[in-house]
Chains A and B, each alone.
Chain A
Amino acid sequence: MSDVVEKTLTALPSLLSLDSQPGSAKLSSTSKLGNLIRGITELTSKHEEEKLIQCELSSIKEQVSSPNTTMMKELMVRTIYCEMLGYEASFSYIHAIKLAQQGSVLEKRVGYLAVSLFLNESHELLLLLVNTVLKDLQSTNLIEVCMALTVVSQMFPKDMIPAILPLVEEKLNHPKEIIRRKAVLALYKFYLIAPNQVQHIHNKFRKALCDKDPGVMTASLHIYLQMIQENPEGYKDLTASFVTILKQVVGGKLPMDFNYHSVPAPWLQIQLLRILSLLGKNDQSTSEIMHEVLDESLRRAEMNHNITYAILYECVKCVYTIHPKSELLEKAAKCIGNFVLSPKINLKYLGLKALTYVVQQDPKLALQHQMTIIECLDHPDLIIKRETLELLFRITNAQNVTVIVEKMLEFLRISKDDHTTIDLVGKVAELAEKYPSNHYTYAPDNEWFIETMNTVFSVGGDMMQPDIPNSFLKLLSEGFDSVEEDRKLRLFAVNSYISLLRGEPGKLPQRFLQVISWVLGEYSHLRADLEPALVLRLLAKLLDMKNCSSETKSWVLTAMTKLCEGGSGVSVAQQVSETYGSSLDTVLRQRAQELQHLSQDSELRARVLPRGAGLDRSLTYCHNLVQVDSSLSFLDGFVSEALAAGAAPYKPPHQRQEELAGTKALSLEPYGLSLPISMSSCITDRQSPTLLSMSSGLSATLKLDGVKRVWGREGYLSQKEPVEEPAQVEVPSPLRSPSQQGEADSFHSQTPSLTPTPESDQEKQQLASSLFVGLGSQSSVCLMGKSEPTTQRFRRKAKGHSTASSTSEQVSNSVISPPSTVDNLLCNNLLDSNITSELAVSSPQLTSRLSQGLAATNGTCDTDTELPESDRKESKPAVIRDSYVVAADPAPHEDPDRPKDLALSSHLPAELSELSHSEITHLCTNQNLELSVCHVQKEDSLLLIVFISNSSDSAVQQILVCLFSGVLFGEEAFTCWCDVVGIVSLLISRVCCRPLTVSTEEYGTMWLAFSHDTKQNLTLISDGQEPLTATLNVLKRRLQLHVVEIIGMEGIVACRLLQDQPCLMHCRVHAGTLAVWLRSPIPDLPDCLIYHCQRALQGH
C-alpha cells in the first residue's frame, strides 16, 4: 500500500508544471484557490509572495464583508491557505464564526474547520461560538451534531463547559455509535482541561466502557488511562474487565473493521497494555490476573511488521513494570533481543529504549547485548547515540564511570541541541560527583574529577542548571573524609584553573569564570610557590574582558579581596578598586570598596575572610573558626543610647503581631524597675537570620532522625542494593552461563559481520570490557565488595549536627573550644537531635547493661579484688575511662525492717550523704545478692553508686567483684556512650545541671554575651499558687535551676553545666502559656534544656 502511494507521489512532476494535469481531475485548478496556489508557486522571491498574498487578503476582506456573498465557503478556504503560509488574516475570524453559525450544513463544515484552525481555546471570539454549538448539539441532523462535537473536542473555552455539558452527556445515550464515540472523546477533553467539572459522570464512563460498540469502548479508554494514572488504587476492580477485553482483542473477536494490516485493533491493545501496567505496578495479586493475557500477547505478536513490534514493545514494558514473573520476564528479554538485533534502525532505537527501561531491574541484559550497544555508540545517527548514552548512564558504576563519562563528553562536544546539552551536562555532573574519585580502578581520581567538571563547565556554559556549579563548589569546600585528599583535590583545581587563565579565558563561559575565581580566592594559597600577586593579575585580566558580565566581575572582585596581600598584590588591588570604585553598578562598587579597604588592613581582612572557612563560613564553622557575634552585641551601646533617649525597644514583626493578637489592649501592669536597660533591650528579640534558620533546621532534623536513611545525596540509597543485588544473586542461576565475559566473547565471534576489521574488533572488545565492568558475574563480587564501600566513603561528610553516626573521635576533633569530654559530648552529640527519641530507650539500656554486667559478676568471681559485703563503685563521667572501685567500710548488719532505700542510703559515705542523690533503683537480685544503683551529684562530677547487698540469711565472708570494663565504663562502653546520646542528655538534665547563682545585673551582662538561643512556649502549672512561681518552682526542683528574680509576669532563671557553662532563661507568662527564651554560649544547650523543661513540666 505505502509503496503505491510512494510511487504515485514520486511519479508526479514538481509543482511548477501544474497546467492541465491529465490525472488531476480532482484538482480544482480552475478555481480561485487553484489560481492563487499556482500564482504563488510561480513567484521567485519571498517579497513577491508577500505582495501577492496581501493583495489576495485585501480582496477577500472586501468580498467577505459584502452582505450577499455566495462565495463565503470558497473565500474561507482561501483565507485558511493564506494563514497556513504564515500571513495573518484576523479579520476573517469573526466571519468563520458567522459561517459556522449561519451557513448551510456544508458551509458550517468549513466554518467550523476555519474556527478550529484560527482560534485557540483562550481566544475571546470563541465565546460567540458557544451558542452555535449549543444549537447544533440539539439539532436533529446528525452531521451537525458530529461537527459540534468535533469542534468541542478540539477547542472549547474552559469556562463555558458547564453550558454544554448536559447536552454532551446526553449524547452518551445516543443510538448512533459515532455520536457516542465523539461524545466520549469530548468528555475526555473536558476531563483534561477541567477534571472537576466531569467528576459527577464517572459512572457514565463505566457505561461507555461497557458499550456494545468497540469504538466507543476504545474511546473511553483514553479517559480511563488518564484517571488510572492519577489514582491506580481506585480502579483495581476493573482489572479483570480490561484483561477480558484484551483477551478478546488478541483472540481476534473484534470485527474486521478494527484490523490494521491484519493485526487486531493495535491501538486498542496498546492502550489496554498501558492501563494494565499501571494497575499491576507494585501489586502482586492484580499482576497475577494479567500474566496469562500478557503471555498470549507476546506469543501472538509474531508477525514481522512495525505494528506488532509496537505492541511487543508495550508488552515488554508492561511485563517489566508489573509484579515480576520469571517466565514472562524471560520471554520479554528474548523480545528485546529481537529489537536490538534487528537490522531496522527504528527497531534498534526502540530496543535501546526498552533496554534502558529494564536494565534498572536486570543489569545483565545490557551485558548480553554489549556488542550491539558498542556499535550503537558509534552509530552515525546522533539520536541512536544519544539513546545509547541514556542506557549507559543507567548502568554506570564506580568501575566504568570514566569510560561512560568520556563517551558522554564526546557526544556533548558534537551536539548542537541545547535541550540535549543541558540534559547531558546534568548527567555528567551527577556521575562525576557520585564517583569523584576511586581507588579501585586506576584512572578516576582527583584529576579526572576536576577535568571532567572543567569540560562540563566549558561545554554546558551558561545554559546548564545553576545547581551544577553550586554543588561543585560545595563539594570542593566540604571535601571528603580525608583531609589530605581534599587538599590534593583543591590544589589540582587551582593548578588547572591557573593554566586555564593563562590560556584564553575569554572563551570560557561566565559560570565557569565564576567558579574559577571562587576556587582561586579560597584555595590558591595551597600552592606555596604561587605568588598571590600573580593570581591577582590573572584575575584582574578577567575584569578587562569585554564579555565579562557584571555578576562575574563581582565574583572576581570578591576573590581578589581574599587574595590581596603583599606589596605588589596590594597595588594590583588598589588599581582595580580605583577603576571599579566609581562603577555605576552598585554591587561592583561595593565589592571594589571592600577590596580597597580590606587590602589596606590585613588584620581586618583575616578576620572578615579567614582562610579555610570555605562555604561553611555561614554555618557550622561560624562558631569555631569565625567568631560571628550574631546577637549584634556591638550595637548595644547604640541601642542603649537610643533607649535612654526614649526610643521604643525593637520588637520583630512576628512578636509585635503576636502581642497584638494576644492582648489587643494596653498592659496596665507596672513593669517594675529591676531590669537594667541593657537587659530590657536584649529581651527584645535580636536573633540573626542565620540563627533563626539554624534553629529551625534543628527542629526539622528532630523528626528525621531515627528514620531510616533512604535518601542520600546521590538519591535513593537503598535502591542501590536492589539494583545491584540481582547482578550478584542471579548469577548462579542456570539460565546464564557462569562467565558472562565468555558468553559475550562467543556472541561476538558468532557475529563477525558486525565488526569489520580485527583491530577495531579488539578496540570494541576493550571498550566493552571497560563499559560493562561491574555488571557481570566475575565483577559482581567486587561490585559488592568494593564499590559499595566506595560510595560510602565518598558520601559527603555531613556537617555539624547531621553527623548522626559519627564516631566520638571525629566529633571531638572538629571541636576546638569546649574544654572537657563531657562538654564535647554535649556540644556535639547534643547537636544530634535524636535526644528525644533515644532518651526513653537509653536509660533502661544503661540500667540493663549495668545489671547484666553485675549479674555476671555474681557467677564468675574472677577478679582479685576482695570486697566486703557491701561496696560502692564510684566513677566520674568526666574521667570515665579511669573508673575505679572503692571499697567502703564493711557495713555491720542489715536491718530487714528498715525501708530498703533508707537502709541503703545510710551506707553512703559521709562526704556524699550531704549531697542529694537520686532515687535508689533496684536492678536485680538472686537468692544471695541484691544490686541497686543511684547517682550522686557532686559539684564537679557525677558519681554512680552501686550497692551490692546480701539478701541471704547467712553472713557473707567475702565477695569478689569483677568489673567488666567493657560493659559500662570501659573504652568500649565509652564509645557506646557517645553513640547513645540520650545518656548524656540524661546526665546534663538531671545530673550535670547546677543552679547558677547570679544577680540580676550579672544576668543582664551575661545575657548579652551569649549568642545561642532558642524560644519556646511551655505549659504553665497552676496548683493553687501563682502560675509563674509554681512553674518555676517545679523547674527549680526537678532541674536544679536557680530562679534569679520574678517580677510580675516575668521571671529570670539561671543554671550551669558541671563545667561552668551557663545557660540563662527568661520566662514570661503570655496568653496562658509560659514563653521562655534561653541563651547560652554553648550551641545546643538551650535546645537541650528546653526539652528537659518540657519533660519536667509534663511529668509534673
Chain B
Amino acid sequence: MMRFLLLFSRQGKLRLQKWFTPIPEREKKKIIREMTTMVLARQPRSCNFLHWKDLKIIYKRYASLYFCLAIENHENELLALEVIHRYVELLDKYFGNVCELDIIFNFEKAYFILDEFLLGGEIQETSKQIVNRCIESSDMLQEYYCEGETDFPGTWRKL
C-alpha cells in the first residue's frame, strides 16, 4: 500500500500532497520537511530508493519537479517507480507536454487525475485512455456548465 505522494520543486516548494492514511497535520509538515531535505540531498547516480523509518521512499525527478512516493516495506520498489511514471504520463496526456507550471496553476486537475489513478493507496486504473476519458468528460461538463447547462449525464455515458 502506498502511504503518501508528494510533488515538490527543486527548491523544495510543495506542489502537491496526497496522504493515503490519516496523519496529524503537524506530522505531515514534519514529513514534508524531511522528505524534501532527504531527496534533494541525494547525489546524482544514486538509486531512486530511500529508507525512512519503516517505509521506503521512491523518488524520481522529472525536470524541475520531484515525485516522491512512500510505500510500505514489503512493496516492490520498481513497481512504485512505474506508478510515478504512469502518473507523469497521465498528466502529460492531459495537459499535453506537461510542465511544472501546469501543475502549479491547475493543481486541482492534477488531484482529480490522481484520484482516478490511485484510490485509497492502491492502484485503481492503470489505463491511460480510461483515466483520460474520465477526466476529459468531467472537464467538458465544466465547460458545459459554464454555458449554463446543469444536467449532463450524456458525456459520462460515453465512458
Interface residues of A (CB under 8 A from B): 1-2, 4-6, 8-12, 14-15, 18, 21, 23-24, 26-29, 33-34, 37, 77, 80-81, 84-86, 88, 104-106, 109-110, 113, 116-117, 120-122, 140-143, 150, 153-155, 176, 178, 181-182, 185-186, 188-189, 215, 218-219, 222, 257-258, 260, 265-267, 270, 306-307, 309-310, 313-314, 345-350, 353, 380-381, 383-384, 386, 417, 419-420
Q: What is the CA–CA distance of A109 and B135 in the complex, to the nearest angstrom?
A: 12
Q: Would A260 and B126 be within 8 Å (CB), given that A9-B99, A381-B46 are in contact?
A: yes
- B27 → chain A, closest Cβ, in Å? 11
- A661 → chain B, closest Cβ, in Å? 46
14 A-B contacts (beta carbon < 8 Å)? A5-B97, A14-B64, A27-B105, A27-B106, A33-B105, A81-B107, A113-B111, A121-B22, A143-B153, A153-B120, A215-B130, A267-B123, A267-B126, A348-B47
Among B86, B105, B125, residue most surrounded by chain A Cβ atoms (within 10 Å):
B105
Choice from B78, B86, B95, B105 contacting A346 with Cβ under 8 Å: B78
Q: What is the CA–CA distance of A182 and B115 in the complex, to the nearest angstrom?
A: 11
Q: Would A5 and B77 be within 8 Å (CB), given that A188-B122, A267-B126 are in contact?
A: no
- B154 → chain A, closest Cβ, in Å? 11
Q: What is the CA–CA distance of A81 and B92 in the complex, to the nearest angstrom?
A: 22
- B109 → chain A, closest Cβ, in Å? 9
Q: Which residue of B lies closest to A143 (CB)?
A: B156
A residues in contact with B40, CB < 8 Å = none
Q: What is the CA–CA distance of A154 and B5 in the complex, to the nearest angstrom?
A: 14
A residues in contact with B104, CB < 8 Å = 15, 37
Q: Which residue of A lies closest to B46 (CB)?
A: A381
Q: Is the interface of B mostly helix, strand, loop or mixed?
A: mixed
A residues in contact with B150, CB < 8 Å = 104-105
Q: What is the CA–CA distance of A81 and B16 in the complex, to the nearest angstrom?
A: 9
Is the beta-carbon distance between A260 and B86 smaller than 8 angstroms?
yes
Among A28, A106, A347, residue most surrounded by chain B Cβ atoms (within 10 Å):
A106
Is the beta-carbon distance between B127 and A257 smaller than 8 angstroms?
yes
Interface residues of B in 61-115 (CB under 8 A from A): 62-65, 76-79, 81-82, 85-86, 88-89, 92, 95, 97-102, 104-108, 111-112, 115
Q: What is the CA–CA distance of A313 and B98 in the complex, to the nearest angstrom?
A: 32
Q: What is the CA–CA distance of A265 and B82 in the complex, to the nearest angstrom?
A: 12
Is the beta-carbon distance between B97 and A29 smaller than 8 angstroms?
no
Q: Would A381 and B120 be within 8 Å (CB), given that A28-B106, A143-B138, A386-B51 are in contact?
A: no
Q: What is the CA–CA distance of A26 and B126 in the complex, to the nearest angstrom?
A: 25
Is the beta-carbon distance between B22 and A155 smaller than 8 angstroms?
yes
Is the beta-carbon distance between B22 and A265 smaller than 8 angstroms?
no
3 interchain residue pairs of minimum CB distance: A9-B63, A310-B78, A257-B127
Is the beta-carbon distance between B76 and A313 smaller than 8 angstroms?
yes
- A462 → chain B, closest Cβ, in Å? 19
Task: Answer whether residue B35 sits at the interface, using C-beta atoms and an 8 A cutoff.
Answer: no
Is the beta-carbon distance between A383 and B51 smaller than 8 angstroms?
yes
Task: Answer whether residue B141 sits at the interface, using C-beta atoms and an 8 A cutoff.
Answer: yes
- A865 → chain B, closest Cβ, in Å? 75
Interface string of B123-159 (1 = CB under 8 A from A): 1111101100010001001100100001111001101
Is the beta-carbon distance between A349 and B124 smaller than 8 angstroms?
no
A residues in contact with B153, CB < 8 Å = 140-143
A residues in contact with B145, CB < 8 Å = 104-106
- B43 → chain A, closest Cβ, in Å? 7
- B124 → chain A, closest Cβ, in Å? 6
Is the beta-carbon distance between B65 and A258 smaller than 8 angstroms?
no
Q: What is the CA–CA distance of A33 and B101 in the complex, to the nearest angstrom?
A: 13
Is the beta-carbon distance between B159 and A178 smaller than 8 angstroms?
yes
Is the beta-carbon distance between B97 and A8 smaller than 8 angstroms?
yes
Is the beta-carbon distance between A150 and B89 smaller than 8 angstroms?
no
Choice from B47, B115, B134 contacting A349 with Cβ under 8 Å: B47
Q: What is the CA–CA distance of A336 and B97 in the complex, to the nearest angstrom?
A: 37
Is the beta-carbon distance between B100 and A181 smaller than 8 angstroms?
no
Q: What is the CA–CA distance of A11 and B64 in the complex, to the nearest angstrom?
A: 10
**What is the size, in residues, of chain B's interface with A at 8 Å between Cβ atoms?**
74
Choice from A5, A222, A257, A419 contacting B53 with Cβ under 8 Å: A419
Is the beta-carbon distance between A345 and B46 smaller than 8 angstroms?
yes
Is the beta-carbon distance between A5 and B62 smaller than 8 angstroms?
yes
Is the beta-carbon distance between B79 and A307 smaller than 8 angstroms?
yes
Among B24, B78, B134, residue most surrounded by chain A Cβ atoms (within 10 Å):
B78
Task: Answer whether residue B4 sits at the interface, using C-beta atoms and an 8 A cutoff.
Answer: no
B residues in contact with A260, CB < 8 Å = 82, 86, 126
- A30 → chain B, closest Cβ, in Å? 11
Q: What is the CA–CA distance of A153 and B129 in the complex, to the nearest angstrom?
A: 23
B residues in contact with A4, CB < 8 Å = 92, 97
Q: Which residue of A lies closest to B76 (CB)?
A: A310
- A271 → chain B, closest Cβ, in Å? 9
Is the beta-carbon distance between B49 and A9 smaller than 8 angstroms?
no
- A415 → chain B, closest Cβ, in Å? 10
B residues in contact with A6, CB < 8 Å = 62-63
Choice from B112, B124, B129 contacting A185 with Cβ under 8 Å: B124
A residues in contact with B120, CB < 8 Å = 153-154, 185-186, 188-189
Is the beta-carbon distance between B106 and A26 smaller than 8 angstroms?
yes
Q: Which residue of A lies closest to B45 (CB)?
A: A345
Is the beta-carbon distance between A8 and B99 smaller than 8 angstroms?
yes
Q: What is the CA–CA distance of A257 and B92 in the complex, to the nearest angstrom?
A: 17
- A876 → chain B, closest Cβ, in Å? 66
Q: Would A420 and B51 be within 8 Å (CB), given that A266-B79, A346-B77 are in contact?
A: yes
Q: Which residue of B lies closest to A150 (CB)?
A: B115
Q: What is the CA–CA distance of A381 and B14 in the complex, to the nearest angstrom?
A: 26
Q: What is the CA–CA distance of A34 and B101 in the complex, to the nearest angstrom?
A: 10
Is the beta-carbon distance between B14 and A84 smaller than 8 angstroms?
yes
Is the beta-carbon distance between A80 and B108 smaller than 8 angstroms?
yes
Q: What is the CA–CA distance of A187 and B8 in the complex, to the nearest angstrom?
A: 32
Q: Which residue of A lies closest to B155 (CB)?
A: A143
A residues in contact with B20, CB < 8 Å = 154
Is the beta-carbon distance between A265 and B126 smaller than 8 angstroms?
yes
Q: What is the CA–CA distance of A219 and B141 in the complex, to the nearest angstrom?
A: 27
B residues in contact with A1, CB < 8 Å = 89, 92
Q: What is the CA–CA distance of A1013 and B124 in the complex, to the nearest angstrom?
A: 66
Is the beta-carbon distance between B47 and A383 smaller than 8 angstroms?
yes
B residues in contact with A143, CB < 8 Å = 138, 141, 153, 156
- B2 → chain A, closest Cβ, in Å? 12
- B9 → chain A, closest Cβ, in Å? 8
A residues in contact with B51, CB < 8 Å = 383, 386, 417, 419-420
B residues in contact with A383, CB < 8 Å = 46-47, 49-51
Q: What is the CA–CA distance of A186 and B119 in the complex, to the nearest angstrom?
A: 9
- A706 → chain B, closest Cβ, in Å? 38
Q: Which residue of A lies closest to B137 (CB)?
A: A143
Is the beta-carbon distance between A150 and B78 smaller than 8 angstroms?
no
Is the beta-carbon distance between B47 and A384 smaller than 8 angstroms?
yes
Among B49, B130, B152, residue most surrounded by chain A Cβ atoms (within 10 Å):
B49
Is the beta-carbon distance between A306 and B81 smaller than 8 angstroms?
yes
Q: What is the CA–CA distance of A86 and B30 in the complex, to the nearest angstrom?
A: 11
Is the beta-carbon distance between A77 and B108 smaller than 8 angstroms?
yes
Q: Would A346 and B81 be within 8 Å (CB), given that A6-B63, A417-B51 are in contact?
A: yes
B residues in contact with A384, CB < 8 Å = 47
Q: What is the CA–CA distance of A346 and B112 in the complex, to the nearest angstrom?
A: 30
Q: What is the CA–CA distance of A28 and B63 in the complex, to the nearest angstrom?
A: 22
Is the beta-carbon distance between B99 and A34 smaller than 8 angstroms?
no
A residues in contact with B77, CB < 8 Å = 346, 349-350, 353
Known contacts A257-B130, A265-B126, A270-B76; 15 additional CB pairs below 8 A are A1-B89, A2-B88, A29-B105, A37-B105, A84-B17, A140-B153, A142-B153, A142-B156, A143-B141, A143-B156, A154-B120, A267-B123, A346-B78, A381-B43, A419-B54
Q: Would A106 and B47 be within 8 Å (CB), given that A122-B22, A142-B153, A257-B129 are in contact?
A: no
Is the beta-carbon distance between B105 and A12 smaller than 8 angstroms?
no
Is the beta-carbon distance between A215 and B125 smaller than 8 angstroms?
yes
Q: What is the CA–CA distance of A122 and B76 in the complex, to the nearest angstrom?
A: 30
Is the beta-carbon distance between A15 and B88 smaller than 8 angstroms?
no
Is the beta-carbon distance between B122 and A185 smaller than 8 angstroms?
yes
- B11 → chain A, closest Cβ, in Å? 9
Is the beta-carbon distance between B47 and A12 smaller than 8 angstroms?
no
Is the beta-carbon distance between A419 and B52 smaller than 8 angstroms?
yes
